[in-house]
Amino acid sequence: MKNERIIVWASVSLVSALFFIIIVSLFILPIVTAQKKQDILLLRADSEQISGRLNSLDSTLIQFNKTPFERSKVDIIRFSGATNTAPRANIQDQVLMRDGRLLLGYVSKINNRIVVQKGKQLNRSQVALIKLATENDSSDKDRETKIDLHWAILSEEQQKTRLYPAEACRLGRMITQAVNIEGQSI
């Protein structure tokens, strides 16, 4: 009788311990994996590293964890899961793709789905990191903003008139060339 109580008590203790371990692991595992999947913002002045979520970027501000940062104060944006080494300083923004390609040119916009660089939309999930230029030529920024605006207008027109993608791309290239030529004549 005494042995049966000990066996029952040991069984209940073992089941309770296993239940506790399973519950704790179910709560801790998502927290640990969520920390690994955060974006990282590296500031210029003190090399401070901030983890969280990049909400957006425009010509002057970066929204990170819903907190605004001046673009000029940010050195590197590392997207979640990226392990690539940051490129060296340059006067142009640099976008390092997850497949190792390095793209140069002004980054004008970032949202939850896309990164816009030189008027071209890149899938955000394919971008590993962005090293922002230490100084951007304002005329280059203005030109890129004009290209982005023209592409946005073209996208709206494509939806209204149901242009085929090939026609839209051809018109987009013509717009980009026109803005480039306009920039040279100024």
Residues 125 and 160 in one domain: no
Res 43 pLDDT > 80? yes
The model's confidence at residue 116, banded by pLDDT at 50, 70 and 90, is: very high
51 and 5 within one domain: no
> What average pLDDT does range 7-25 have in this prediction?
79
Residues ≥6 apart with Cβ < 8 Å to 39: 51, 52, 53, 54, 64, 77, 78, 79, 80
Buried-state track 81-111, b at ≥16 Cβ within 10 A, e below 16: ebeeebeeeeebbbbbbbeeeebebbbbbbe
Q: Are residues 60 and 111 in the same domain?
A: yes
Same domain, 120 and 100: yes
- Domains: count for the chain: 3
Q: Do 124 and 98 share a structural domain?
A: yes
**Whether residues 43 and 127 fall in one domain:** yes
Question: What integer pLDDT is reported at residue 177 of this predicted model?
Answer: 64
pLDDT of residue 28: 67
Judged against a pLDDT cut of 90, whether residue 107 lies above it is answered with yes
Looking at the fold, whether 17 and 46 belong to one and the same domain comes out as no
- Tell whether 46 and 107 lie within a shared domain: yes
Torsion of CA 111, 116, 121, 127, to 10 degrees: -70
Query: Does residue 110 register a pLDDT over 90?
Result: yes
Whether residues 117 and 143 fall in one domain: no
Residue 178 — pLDDT band, cuts 50, 70, 90? low
Of 13-27, 121-135, 147-161, least confident by mean pLDDT is 147-161
For 8-18, what is the mean pLDDT? Answer: 80
Answer whether residue 126 shows pLDDT above 90: yes
| 29/66: higher pLDDT | 66
97: containing domain: 39-131
Q: Are the C-beta atoms of residues 151 and 172 closer than 8 Å to each other? A: yes
State the average pLDDT over residues 39-62: 89
pTM equals: 0.55
Instruction: Supply the pLDDT for residue 59.
Output: 85
Reported as a pLDDT band with limits 50, 70 and 90, residue 34 is: very low
Asked whether residue 58 falls in the same domain as residue 113, the answer is yes
pLDDT of residue 138: 44
Q: Are residues 96 and 166 in the same domain?
A: no
